[in-house]
Amino acid sequence: MFQTFVGNIKDWELTIILSSKYLIMSNLLSLSSVAKKIWMSLMGLFLFTFLLVHLSLNLTMITSPDSDLFNEAAHFMGTNPFIQVFQWVLFAGFIVHIILGLTLQFQNWMARPSAYKVKASSEQSFFSKYMIHTAVVIFVFLIIHFLNFFLVAKGLVGEIGEVNIDGVVMEDMAGLVFDLFANPAYVAFYIIALLFLGFHLDHGIQSAFQSLGLNHPKYTPCIKNAGRLLAIVITLGYILIPLVIYFTK
Amino acid sequence: MDLKLKIWRQSGPDAKGEFREYPIQNISKDSSFLEMMDVLNEQLVSKGEEPVAFDHDCREGICGMCSLFINGRPHGPDDAITTCQLHMRKFHDGETVTIEPWRAKPFPIIKDLMVDRSAFDEIIQAGGFVSVSTGGVPDANAIPIKKANADLAMDAAACIGCGACVAACKNASAMLFVSAKVSQFALLPQGRVEAKERVERMVAKMDDIGFGNCTNTYACEAECPKEISVANIARMNREFFAAKVC
């Protein structure tokens, strides 16, 4: 599968991959702790904006009476040249966020080689303690999510039907989604994974602002509340999709 | 009151440490925590045993020498005080009290509950000097400073460098300490001259020594005996960003 995937990559895409690999390896790991955190938060906020776009498109599956609107949106995302270039920027964002997150975590573990016998909880941000754990769940989810949809749409895994909308033949993404969420095991898995995404966002959003130095006596409490609210809204929004599809489609 | 103490004993930096239990009786609830430790040590000495080594100096909460991780919290169960200001009335009769040293790679254990905190001195040294005009005594109001900034600088300067922030942080990060030291200068015009070099050097030294990274859990702020705010960490991040970009 990997061979097919690599075979499909165009020359300019390969240039981007190789140059980003060089940038990542040579510069990213040698950054100072504060610089790593700044990049970590910038990439985190970038990925967060992607979540908003992704959710708004996906919600058309349950808000629109037929699946044409979603299929057209998916077709646009899969064929628009700007989006095709930008998806590599998005992948780079994921890679930078993951590599930095792992580097920071290993350094953190090394900074305390022997643990305390008794540790009372004094953390003020609950999910901050579990960012690496929620991240691992999200990463596993991401791989399965790719195998479920993205790689199927690209013709690398499984099979996908076609639909004809106003004379344009395109992949039946909506059909693929409806088929998957007819299986209650997948619905349950997606809901659990999305809850972990919510936990990650709950700390992540407000933490990004702090790492970027955006702390203010008046606005920081608002940022914390807004971050939590957004984490809840986004998680519920995403969870709604498999649930509604399972019970109605 | 009677207590069961579980204390970390370690004979030297490279020795293998272990918890040992010491029952102690008739401790006044009005005595301080360190006085209770003194009583224990007198008993140990009279029995011919090695007393427990622990750091202490002023015993009035201003020098930053005392430490101790008591029942899972740096400086014990009370908020905004140092161990020397902690009183035995905060514990109940018959309670098991676990006493550990600060645990962090940059704070190696010297003996028992004493750790070497010279890593903090190295960070301060890395910050370098502050340029001041020499000559006669300056006029009191020669350099105007906003009241708000003067207050924030004083709040940051309240840090006594005890290391509770590192001890409390799940990552053993020194960000609260370093940010307080950066902030107390960065907020004042006198400190602006070398502000860029200072933040870069102090952060570089902090990383070099091997402290962990900040994940904004804010445990440091919750446990700081001087209630240093994490707003200082954000300020240091801003200062660092400005130093690199501007």
CATH of the domain at B204: 1.10.1060.10
Residues B166 and B91 in one domain: no
Report the distance separating Cα B199 and Cα B182, nearest Å: 6
Collapse the DSSP code of B212 into the 3-class scheme (helix H, G, I; strand E, B; otherwise coil) and give the result.
Answer: strand
| Domain boundary, last residue among B110, B135, B167 | B110
Crossing angle of the two packed helices A33-58 and A68-79, in degrees rounded to 10 = 140
- pLDDT for A244 equals 96
Kindly tell me if the per-residue pLDDT of A2 is higher than 70: no
Q: Does the residue A51 lie in any domain?
A: yes
CATH of the domain at A39: 1.20.1300.10
- pLDDT for B131 equals 87
- pLDDT for A1 equals 47
Kindly tell me if the per-residue pLDDT of A3 is higher than 60: no
> Among A23-27, A223-227, B170-174, B227-231, where is mean pLDDT lowest?
A23-27
Kindly tell me if the per-residue pLDDT of A6 is higher than 60: no
Q: What is the mean pLDDT of residues A70-97?
A: 94
Residues B87 and B127 in one domain: no
Residues B61 and B178 in one domain: no
Report the distance separating Cα A225 and Cα A151, nearest Å: 37
Q: Does the residue A180 lie in any domain?
A: yes
Q: Is A31 on the interface with B (CB under 8 A)?
A: no
Q: Does the residue A3 lie in any domain?
A: no
Q: Does the residue A115 lie in any domain?
A: no
**Mean predicted lDDT score pLDDT of chain A:** 91
Domain count, chain B: 2
Residues of A in contact with B71 (CB under 8 A): 118, 120
ipTM of model over 0.90: yes
Residues B46 and B138 in one domain: no
Report the distance separating Cα B71 and Cα B109, nearest Å: 19
Report the distance separating Cα A193 and Cα A191, nearest Å: 6
Kindly tell me if the per-residue pLDDT of A16 is higher than 80: no
pLDDT in tens, B89-135: 999 999 999 999 999 999 999 999 999 999 999 999 999 999 888 88
Residues of A in contact with B213 (CB under 8 A): 33, 36-37, 104, 107-108
Q: Does the residue A189 lie in any domain?
A: yes
pLDDT in tens, A179-198: 999 999 999 999 999 999 99
The phi and psi torsions of A220 (rounded to 5 degrees) equal -60, -45
Q: Does the residue A116 lie in any domain?
A: no
Domain count, chain A: 1
Residues B82 and B39 in one domain: yes
pLDDT grade for A21, boundaries at 50, 70 and 90: low
Q: Does the residue A83 lie in any domain?
A: yes
User: How far off is chain A from B142, nearest CA to CA, in Å?
Assistant: 29
The phi and psi torsions of B234 (rounded to 5 degrees) equal -60, -40
Residues of B in contact with A124 (CB under 8 A): 217-219, 221-222
Q: Does the residue A185 lie in any domain?
A: yes
- pLDDT for A123 equals 74
| Residue B24: both structure tokens together | 């102690």
pLDDT grade for A15, boundaries at 50, 70 and 90: confident
| Domain boundary, last residue among B110, B132, B166 | B110
**Mean predicted lDDT score pLDDT of chain B:** 96
Specify the pTM: 0.93
Residues B94 and B121 in one domain: no
The share of chain B scoring above pLDDT 90, in percent, equals: 94
Residues of A in contact with B239 (CB under 8 A): 213
- Partnered with residue B98 across adjacent β-strands are B6
Q: CA of B72: which chain A residue's CA is closest?
A: A119
Q: Is A116 on the interface with B (CB under 8 A)?
A: yes
Q: Is A118 on the interface with B (CB under 8 A)?
A: yes
Nearest to B217 among A36, A123, A213 (CB): A123
A108–B72: do the CB atoms touch at under 8 Å?
no
Residues B125 and B103 in one domain: no
Q: What is the mean pLDDT of residues B38-59?
A: 98
Collapse the DSSP code of B26 into the 3-class scheme (helix H, G, I; strand E, B; otherwise coil) and give the result.
Answer: coil
Tracing tokens 């009583």 back to the chain, one arrives at B39
Is the separation of the CB atoms in B31 and B87 below 8 Å? yes
Residues B97 and B127 in one domain: no
The parent domain of residue A244 ranges over 10-109+126-248
Residues B104 and B123 in one domain: no
Q: Is A213 on the interface with B (CB under 8 A)?
A: yes
The parent domain of residue B39 ranges over 3-110
A118–B173: do the CB atoms touch at under 8 Å?
no
**Greatest CA separation found in chain B?**
64
pLDDT in tens, A199-232: 999 999 999 999 999 999 999 999 999 999 999 9
Residues B163 and B91 in one domain: no
Residues B34 and B86 in one domain: yes
Q: What is the mean pLDDT of residues B204-225?
A: 97
**CA quadruple B205, A35, A17, A148: dihedral sign:** positive
